[in-house]
């Protein structure tokens, strides 16, 4: 799981410089696919997963999640989530990150920051003996305090040899409720945060989820290992790994 997580993070580190005005999301997908299969010797988990046609998900602006890469050209000011899951030696690493094309708008930047901080507040609740409700409660409190909303229909999940395993990791809830966490569990924390209302709808392609009110949405995701006294994030990018080593 550590190897798979590191490889997934490396894909996001690699693709950042390619997120430029004029590039299509399909071109980004192709670059990721080639890197995963030819450089990493790994498998892009989304490709053909329940019929998904591409190797990564690209969700732009009001797309909440599961955006299918296509011919859309990115333009300056767009906010883009790239979601990467790779399989290496039978294990999955799953992570996503927000990218800005050119100069972001003030709201997009603030929304992405609140979603990022909410994810980390949830991760910081992880430890053996804590409950999943503690994670959701921490995220929900932060997001709603900042007058944004949490998407309820989609959530984090257990992960390992399977892409999506139990338990479901809700990004809202009450402390002391839900499954008690045990050391050795691996799961994703990936809050989807909307600038407007939390309501979403699924487009006719069967995958792309958008905000009903067309407001912006932002998401970050890490795969995390629960330990006896806390957690270990398995999908830290190079910059976060460097920061963590400096702190230590």
Strands 156-158 and 165-169: antiparallel
* Run of H or E including 94: strand 91-100
pTM for the whole structure: 0.96
SS3 for 103?
Answer: coil
Residues of the chain with pLDDT under 70: 245-248
Domain formed by 2-237, architecture: Alpha-Beta Complex (3.90)
**pLDDT for 194:** 98
**Cβ–Cβ under 8 Å, residues 74 and 25:** yes
31-54 residues labelled b (16+ CB within 10 A) or e (exposed): bbbebbeeebebbbbbbeeeebeb
**pLDDT for 128:** 97
pLDDT tens digits, one per residue of 48-89: 999 999 999 999 999 999 999 999 999 999 999 999 999 999
**pLDDT for 244:** 76
**pLDDT for 189:** 98
| Extents of the domains making up the chain | 2-237
User: What is the average pLDDT score of the chain?
Assistant: 97
**pLDDT for 84:** 98
**pLDDT for 248:** 45
CA angle 20/77/153 to nearest 5° reads: 100
């Amino acid at each position: 799981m550590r190897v798979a997580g590191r490889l997934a993070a490396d894909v996001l580190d690699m693709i950042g410089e390619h997120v430029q005005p004029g590039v299509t999301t399909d071109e980004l997908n192709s670059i990721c696919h080639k890197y995963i299969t030819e450089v990493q010797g790994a498998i892009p988990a989304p490709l053909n997963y329940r019929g998904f046609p591409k190797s990564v998900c690209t969700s732009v602006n009001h797309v909440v999640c599961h955006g299918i890469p296509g011919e859309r050209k990115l333009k300056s000011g767009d906010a883009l989530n790239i979601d990467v899951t790779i399989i290496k030696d039978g294990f999955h690493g799953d992570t996503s990150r927000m990218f800005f094309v050119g100069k972001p708008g003030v709201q997009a930047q603030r929304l992405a920051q609140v979603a990022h901080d909410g994810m980390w507040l949830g991760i910081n609740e992880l430890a053996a003996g804590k409950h999943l409700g503690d994670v959701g409660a921490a995220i929900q409190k932060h997001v709603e305090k900042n007058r944004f909303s949490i998407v309820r229909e989609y959530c984090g999940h257990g992960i390992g040899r399977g892409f999506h395993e139990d338990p479901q990791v809700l990004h809202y809830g009450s402390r002391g409720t839900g499954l008690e966490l045990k050391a050795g569990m691996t799961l994703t924390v990936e809050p989807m945060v909307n600038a407007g209302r939390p309501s979403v709808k699924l487009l006719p392609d069967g995958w792309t989820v958008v905000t009903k009110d067309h407001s912006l949405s932002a998401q970050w995701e890490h795969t995390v290992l629960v330990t006896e006294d806390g957690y270990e994030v398995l999908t830290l990018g190079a910059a976060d790994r460097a920061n963590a080593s400096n702190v230590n």
